[in-house]
């Protein structure tokens, strides 16, 4: 018998003896502290040691249940010949009748000898569907863990389900432990069952959203071969509308006529109306107030209507107050299950340091969900504005054709550690009066990489590119031009402090913009992280940055992040490093989520 480790762990020694329900002794000959920790975590009797009100009946029941729990934990790690003794007041717990439990329990002693670790001998699972990939560890010579067997069975069943056999299951399994050779043979027989096609979507629980619309939104392909991925997509589409608190899809228990399978949709609707408001204050930007009212099911088909308004810059130092009111209507699954229709209107007044604008726009279009990570929008719009800048007062009216693409392959949008994100927009505009026709483009790309064994060091890079081509600087819509400075571009520099210098103290936005940002994020604890960053921005007079007709500026600083359930709370302190113009010396930025 292998030498037992002197673990004999006396649980909760720091507690006064009178507060302990009993003394717990734990001894194990396993050479792994991780395995011993797993065994203690699996035990039901261990946490009762610090509960003074634990009854002897509860302690005995937990001790008797621990045999199976501890054996299961050892099987998970490949130990198929363990010896487990659980003594209650010196008697084996398994031999104590529940009807004759001790009146008081002073000690519980758990002694474990895991025995030898087994390896896989013969491994087989059949039949399997074409293209099924079994776990690499399910092979001769690998550690024989029951979790590996489960993974192999799950892979085999999911392979058949992906091929249309929704009711695939285990037909027979034979597990043979060969103690002389310390090998475990695993032979699994699967029963694929018939190939099925989707039947109907059976909707239950809805009260206000029409059943027909729920089926349209889900887009379940009735009559086509069953595919679990289609069920997942249908669930995502329903949840994406925001109209449902619960949208759970499950397969019917029984196969229908003609080898069809109905899908059940259990629906719990959200309250149709919602409103909210917010406020923020900055030493330079002043006070900002915002509010919205939302209806999630306007006509009974999960249509959304959102009315919103905001006022920014009250008492600020970056121009006057800005106002905006708007309304947006959207209808899911309008042309197909992955295409939404939207229509919006906005009335906005901007009073910035370098320009002012009063504008009104209407727009309608579609949003296409190509996948969970890719979205596209296309629209038609009409915009009228009156602007005032260094070139004077102008009225313009344009017809717009906005389009955008968004690729989001980040592991976490609010606190990314790996992956990338790309947003690109192209807005051709046709002049009706007051300007010239042209195109406004914008690109935002971000990439993230985490390194180190502890994964506590993350590098984040961001690049932005903007351009207005067609009209000259003097005839371009003033609110289409680019500025740099502030939290979204160059931290440490004043908001929109860099534009194109026309001389004589006059400045206007540029036709081109280039922004570069880099961050190093170091996780220093479970919740806290430190961040160092550098930002740079360029604004030029020509349609594309060329370095000769514009200026650069930059800023740098450090920040602190505190992780919460909805993303990290961000506090950044930044100072200007280079560039023209006056600045405040330092800027503080506070928000939720990473800066990018």
Q: What are the tens digits of pLDDT across the range 483-534? A: 999 889 999 998 888 999 888 888 899 999 999 999 999 999 889 999 999 9
CB 107 within 8 A of CB 137: no
Question: Has residue 11 got a pLDDT over 60?
Answer: no
In angstroms, the CA 513 to CA 545 distance is 7
In angstroms, the CA 573 to CA 588 distance is 5
Between 495 and 317, the higher pLDDT residue: 495
Strand partners, 79: 117
- Give residue-wise pLDDT tens across range 225-237: 999 999 999 999 9
In angstroms, the CA 54 to CA 43 distance is 15
Mean pLDDT along residues 289-297: 95
CB 238 within 8 A of CB 218: yes
Residue 17: pLDDT band (50, 70, 90) is very low
Mean pLDDT over the full length of the chain: 91
User: Maximum CA pair distance of the chain?
Assistant: 99
Q: Find where tokens 């930002």 sit.
A: 535
In angstroms, the CA 152 to CA 98 distance is 39
In angstroms, the CA 374 to CA 353 distance is 37
Neighbours of 503 (CB within 10 A): 7
Question: Has residue 593 got a pLDDT over 90?
Answer: no
CB 441 within 8 A of CB 513: no
Question: Residue 590's pLDDT is what?
Answer: 84
CB 331 within 8 A of CB 303: yes
Strand partners, 71: none
The burial class, CB within 10 Å (0-12 / 13-18 / 19+), for 418 is middle
In angstroms, the CA 118 to CA 78 distance is 5
Mean pLDDT along residues 191-209: 96
Mean pLDDT along residues 109-118: 95
CB 152 within 8 A of CB 126: no
The angle at the Cα of 335, spanning 363 to 339, to the nearest 5 degrees, equals 70
Mean pLDDT along residues 40-62: 91
Task: Give, rounded to a whole angstrom, the gap between the first and last alpha carbons of the chain.
Answer: 59
Nearest alpha carbon to residue 26 among 93, 92, 112, 95: 112
Residue 370: pLDDT band (50, 70, 90) is very high
Buried b (16+ CB within 10 A) or exposed e, 297-312: beeebbbbbbebbbbb
In angstroms, the CA 144 to CA 79 distance is 8
Neighbours of 445 (CB within 10 A): 15
CA distances from 534 to 203, 263, 339, 462, 517 (A): 53, 52, 39, 11, 6
Mean pLDDT along residues 438-460: 94
Question: Residue 2's pLDDT is what?
Answer: 36
Q: What is the DSSP letter of 494?
A: P
Report phi then psi at 513, rounded to 5. Answer: -145, 140
With a pLDDT cut of 90, the percent of the chain lying above it is 77
Helix, coil or strand: residue 156: helix
pTM for the full predicted model: 0.80
Strand partners, 433: 397
Question: Has residue 554 got a pLDDT over 70?
Answer: yes
Mean pLDDT along residues 530-550: 91
Nearest alpha carbon to residue 210 among 299, 270, 296: 299
Residue 4: pLDDT band (50, 70, 90) is very low
Residue 284: pLDDT band (50, 70, 90) is low
Mean pLDDT along residues 469-496: 91
Q: What is the DSSP letter of 465?
A: E
In angstroms, the CA 284 to CA 589 distance is 11
Element (H, E) at 150: helix 146-162
Q: Comparing 59-73, 75-89, 315-329, 445-459, which segment has the lowest mean pLDDT?
A: 315-329
Helix, coil or strand: residue 216: helix
CA distances from 401 to 76, 139, 155, 394 (A): 59, 58, 47, 22
Report phi then psi at 236, rounded to 5. Answer: -60, -40
Element (H, E) at 441: strand 438-451
Question: Residue 580's pLDDT is what?
Answer: 82
In angstroms, the CA 107 to CA 346 distance is 74
- How many residues in total does the chain contain? 596
Question: Residue 21's pLDDT is what?
Answer: 77
CB 278 within 8 A of CB 289: yes
Phi-psi domain of 164 (left: phi exceeds 0; alpha: psi -120 through 50; beta: other): left
Question: Residue 282's pLDDT is what?
Answer: 64
Non-local CB neighbours of 327 within 8 Å, separated by 6+ positions: 305, 306, 307, 308, 344, 345
With a pLDDT cut of 70, the percent of the chain lying above it is 95
- Give residue-wise pLDDT tens across range 391-439: 889 999 999 999 999 999 999 998 999 999 999 999 999 999 999 999 9
Report phi then psi at 54, rounded to 5. Answer: -70, 125
Residue 251: pLDDT band (50, 70, 90) is very high
Q: Comparing 9-18, 124-133, 357-366, 560-569, which segment has the lowest mean pLDDT?
A: 9-18
Question: Residue 461's pLDDT is what?
Answer: 98
Mean pLDDT along residues 163-173: 96
Q: Comparing 358-372, 421-435, 562-576, which segment has the lowest mean pLDDT?
A: 562-576
Neighbours of 55 (CB within 10 A): 13
Question: Residue 6's pLDDT is what?
Answer: 34
């Amino acid at each position: 018998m292998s030498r037992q480790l002197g673990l004999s762990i006396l649980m909760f020694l720091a507690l006064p003896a009178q507060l302990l329900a009993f003394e717990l002794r734990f001894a194990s000959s396993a050479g792994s502290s991780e395995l011993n920790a797993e065994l203690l975590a699996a035990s039901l009797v261990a946490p009762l040691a610090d509960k003074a009100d634990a009854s002897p009946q509860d302690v005995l029941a937990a001790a008797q249940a621990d045999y199976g729990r501890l054996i299961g934990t050892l099987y998970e790690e490949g130990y198929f010949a363990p010896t487990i003794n659980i003594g209650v007041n010196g008697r084996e717990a398994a031999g104590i009748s529940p009807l004759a439990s001790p009146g008081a329990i002073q000690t519980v002693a758990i002694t474990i000898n895991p025995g030898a670790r087994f390896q896989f001998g013969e491994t087989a699972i059949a039949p399997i569907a074409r293209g099924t990939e079994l776990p690499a560890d399910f092979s001769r010579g690998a550690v024989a863990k029951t979790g590996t067997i489960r993974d192999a069975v799950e892979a085999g069943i999911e392979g058949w389900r992906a091929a249309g056999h929704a009711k695939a299951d285990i037909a027979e399994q034979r597990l043979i432990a060969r103690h002389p050779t310390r090998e475990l043979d695993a032979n699994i027989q699967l029963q694929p069952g018939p190939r099925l096609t989707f039947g109907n979507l059976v909707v239950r629980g809805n009260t206000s959203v029409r059943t027909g619309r729920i089926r349209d939104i889900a887009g379940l392909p009735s009559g086509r071969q069953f595919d679990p991925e289609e069920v997942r997509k249908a669930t995502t589409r329903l949840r994406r509308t925001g109209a449902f608190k619960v949208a759970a899809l499950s397969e019917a228990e029984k196969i229908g006529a003609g080898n069809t399978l109905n899908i059940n949709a259990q629906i719990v609707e959200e309250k149709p109306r919602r409103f909210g408001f917010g406020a923020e204050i900055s030493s330079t930007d002043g006070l900002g107030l915002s509010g919205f009212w939302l209806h999630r099911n306007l006509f009974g088909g999960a249509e959304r209507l959102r009315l919103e308004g905001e006022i920014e810059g009250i008492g600020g130092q970056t121009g006057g107050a800005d106002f905006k009111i708007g309304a947006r209507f959207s209808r899911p699954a309008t042309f197909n299950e992955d295409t939404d229709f939207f229509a919006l209107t906005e009335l906005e007044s901007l009073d910035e340091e370098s320009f002012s604008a009063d504008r009104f726009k209407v727009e309608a279009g579609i949003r296409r969900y190509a996948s969970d990570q890719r979205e596209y929008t296309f629209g038609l719009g009409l915009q009228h504005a009156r602007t005032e800048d260094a070139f004077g007062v102008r009225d313009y009216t344009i017809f717009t054709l906005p389009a955008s693409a968004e690729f989001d392959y980040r592991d976490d949008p609010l606190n990314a550690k790996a992956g990338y994100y790309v947003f690109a927009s192209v807005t051709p505009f046709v002049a009706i009066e007051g300007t010239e026709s042209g195109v406004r483009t914008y690109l935002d790309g971000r990439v993230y990489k985490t390194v180190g064994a502890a994964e506590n060091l993350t590098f984040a890079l961001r690049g932005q590119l903007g351009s207005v081509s067609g009209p000259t600087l003097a005839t371009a819509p003033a609110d289409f031009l680019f500025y740099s400075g502030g939290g979204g571009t160059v931290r440490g520099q004043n908001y929109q402090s860099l534009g194109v210098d026309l001389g004589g103290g006059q400045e206007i936005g540029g036709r081109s913009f280039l922004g570069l940002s880099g961050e190093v994020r170091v996780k220093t604890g479970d919740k806290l992280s430190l961040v160092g960053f550098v930002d740079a921005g360029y604004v030029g007079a020509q349609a594309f940055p060329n370095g000769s007709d514009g200026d650069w500026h930059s800023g740098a600083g450090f920040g602190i992040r505190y992780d919460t359930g909805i993303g990290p709370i961000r506090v950044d302190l930044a100072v200007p490093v280079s560039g023209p113009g006056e600045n405040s010396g330092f800027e503080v930025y506070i928000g939720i989520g990473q800066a990018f």
